[in-house]
């Protein structure tokens, strides 16, 4: 491996590492929440914690197709946690059920991510066309990885002040 190839490997590994540690922080926080905390709003009139956790699970699942890892594991989550706002659906899946899906989805995303080469990280993600990607080469898998890590950190920040 040349020095430059080794560098590319380091960039990709570091970003996957930060994503992984953010996923683990979320899982640890989730495991420590009571049913009351899960069903409280993050601020008066805003989303409930359980809805945000479901939203994060649906977003993690969407990484599967965006990164070209194969069909999604739980696309049915989108109806409840992406398309519908909180409190518009009477009965949400239980926290235990969602948490098991969270663990399953993220383990699979991380397992696939660990196998991608640097040049595969820089390939287009599936939501951009070949023509658009030729003009905008930054719309690649690596951008999805960085964007999803920030998205996760942002929502973690929303959950923490109300539950600590």
Q: Which residues bind a copy of itself (CB under 8 A)?
A: 2-5, 7-8, 10-15, 17-18, 22, 42-43, 46, 118-119, 121-122, 137-138, 140, 142-143, 146-147, 149-151, 153-158, 160-162, 164
Tell me the closest approach of the beta carbon of residue 54 to a copy of itself, in angstroms: 16
Q: How far is the CB of 87 from a copy of itself (least distance, A)?
A: 15
State which residue, 18 or 89, has the beta carbon closest to a copy of itself: 18
User: With respect to a copy of itself, which residue has the nearer C-beta, 114 or 146?
Assistant: 146
Residue reference for tokens 């999803």: 148
- Residue tagged 């109806």 (tokens): 79
Closer by beta carbon to a copy of itself, 99 or else 139: 139
Burial state string for 128-159 with b = 16 or more CB within 10 A and e = fewer than 16: beeeeeeeeeeebbbbbbeebbeebeebeeeb
> For a copy of itself, which is the closer residue by CB, 94 or 117?
117
- CA dihedral of 123, 108, 150, 95, whole degrees rounded to 10: 150
Nearest to 133 by CA among 143, 123, 118, 119: 123
- Per DSSP, 48 falls in state B
Minimum CB separation of residue 97 from a copy of itself in Å reads 25
Least distance in angstroms from the C-beta of 68 to a copy of itself: 18
**What is the nearest approach in angstroms of a copy of itself to the Cβ of residue 73?**
25
d(C-alpha 30, C-alpha 38), whole Å: 9
Instruction: Give the span between the Cα atoms of 113 and 120, in whole angstroms.
Output: 10
Q: Which is nearer to a copy of itself, 35 or 136 (CB)?
A: 136
């Amino acid at each position: 491996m040349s020095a430059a190839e080794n560098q590319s490997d380091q960039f990709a590994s570091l970003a996957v590492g930060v994503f992984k540690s953010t996923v683990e922080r979320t899982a640890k926080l989730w495991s420590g929440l009571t049913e009351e905390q899960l069903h409280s709003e993050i601020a008066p009139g805003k989303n409930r914690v359980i809805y945000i956790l479901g939203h994060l699970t649906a977003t993690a699942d969407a990484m599967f197709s965006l990164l070209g890892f194969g069909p999604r594991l739980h696309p049915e989550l989108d109806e409840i946690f992406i398309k519908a706002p909180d409190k518009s659906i009477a009965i949400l899946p239980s926290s235990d059920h969602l948490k098991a899906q969270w663990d399953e989805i993220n383990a699979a995303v991380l397992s696939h991510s660990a196998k991608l080469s640097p040049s595969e990280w820089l390939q287009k993600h599936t939501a951009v066309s070949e023509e658009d990607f030729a003009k905008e080469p930054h719309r690649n898998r690596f951008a999805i990885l960085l964007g999803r890590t920030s998205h996760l950190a942002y929502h973690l920040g929303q959950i923490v002040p109300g539950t600590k």
